[in-house]
Amino acid sequence: MSLKGKVAIVTGAGSGIGRAIAVRLARDEAAIAVLDLNGDGAAETVKLITDAGGKAMALVADCANEKAIKEAATKIRAEWGPITILVNNAGIATFVPYMDISEEVWDRTIAINLKGPHLFCREVIPDMLAAGWGRIINITSSSVQSGSVAQAHYVSSKGGLLGLTKALALEYAPTGITVNMVPPGFIDTPMLRGAPIDAEAFAKTLPMKRIGQPEDIAAACAYLASEEANYMTGQTISTNGGRYMGSA
Ligand code: NAP
């Protein structure tokens, strides 16, 4: 599934799932803008890619900040040209009982998990329209499909991203741009290991009885980014070990 000549942004690519997506799309020959708040993590991902012969650049930016997004996109275009693959992966997840969620926590969660993807979409859709081709992949969460205790703010942000995915999929369906989502469930990353849950014990309750790997999500993204997925938009690839089998 060669993406040779394509330019991709992967947000939150300095860690976990985003890193695996960046490495995988680079293996498929896309040039990857590795964007993260964490500069050391982004540099590490770029090294993994370039050591394997791929093309990548690190960009430190807050994906909730419109000015930072515009500056990053301008830099990418100047180096490599139009951006036609966007993976909105950066996210934060905290656990707070519903009545204790502060306005600040609510707003920051929505800003990073929902407003950020919206700002990135608006930044790159003109490039995609000009190319007559584009791939937007939003990393949502299986918690949107199941609910999650003490995560009303997080689930709401990811539910909003589900809505954005479907709305943009419909609006841009005639243009060659596809917009799809991957809701991960229980993937082995710093986010999961930092959560106040016993991940190993919970994994035993999953149909597949194990935690997933970031590469499992990356494989779904590689398909959605590819030419082979060109008749697929507004869809969900639930990569969750069988945790949730409905569609959303
Ligand atoms: P992770 O290991 O914490 O990686 C997330 C990365 O995003 C980190 O490098 C983080 O930087 C970065 N980031 C956070 N806020 C940012 C911002 N404002 N601007 C730019 N970068 C930012 O988490 P992960 O598990 O790989 O999660 C990736 C995505 O999958 C998230 O959207 C998450 O909600 C979703 N997801 C994960 C799971 C799972 O089981 N792991 C399940 C469902 C959904 P810092 O380290 O500096 O914060």
- The pLDDT tens digits of the residues spanning 171-192 come to 999 999 999 999 999 999 999 9
The pLDDT of residue 78 is: 98
For residue 160, pLDDT over 70 is answered with: yes
Q: Is 133 in the pocket of ligand 1 (CB under 6 A)?
A: no
Q: Which of 24, 40, 46, 92 for mutating ligand 1's site (highest number of atoms within 8 Å of CB)?
A: 92
Q: What is the pLDDT of residues 116-158, one digit of tens each?
A: 999 999 999 999 999 999 999 999 999 999 999 999 999 999 9
Which domain does 26 fall in, by range? 7-229
**Residues paired with 59 in a beta bridge:** 35
Provide the domain count of the chain: 1
Token pair 């995988």 is found at 24
pTM over 0.95: yes
Q: Which of 19, 189, 240 for mutating ligand 1's site (highest number of atoms within 8 Å of CB)?
A: 189
Residues 6+ apart with CB under 8 A from 35: 9, 10, 11, 12, 13, 42, 59, 60, 61, 63, 72, 90
User: What is the sign of the dihedral through the CA atoms of 230, 231, 235 and 241?
Assistant: negative
The answer to whether position 2 is within a domain reads no
The pLDDT of residue 147 is: 96
The answer to whether position 45 is within a domain reads yes
The answer to whether position 119 is within a domain reads yes
- CATH code assigned at 212: 3.40.50.720
The pLDDT of residue 247 is: 63
The answer to whether position 234 is within a domain reads no
Percent of the chain with pLDDT over 70: 99
pLDDT class of 246 with cuts at 50, 70, 90: confident
Task: Please provide the average confidence, as pLDDT, over all residues in the chain.
Answer: 97
The answer to whether position 247 is within a domain reads no
pLDDT class of 94 with cuts at 50, 70, 90: very high
- In the predicted model, what is the mean pLDDT of residues 55-72? 98
The pLDDT of residue 1 is: 75
Q: Is 36 in the pocket of ligand 1 (CB under 6 A)?
A: yes
**Cα(12) to centroid(ligand 1), Å:** 6
The answer to whether position 155 is within a domain reads yes
The answer to whether position 236 is within a domain reads no
The answer to whether position 46 is within a domain reads yes
- In the predicted model, what is the mean pLDDT of residues 89-95? 98
How far are the Cα atoms of 23, 28, 75, 102, 191 from residue 95, in angstroms, in the given order?
29, 36, 36, 12, 12
Name the residue type at position 133.
Answer: W
The pLDDT of residue 189 is: 98
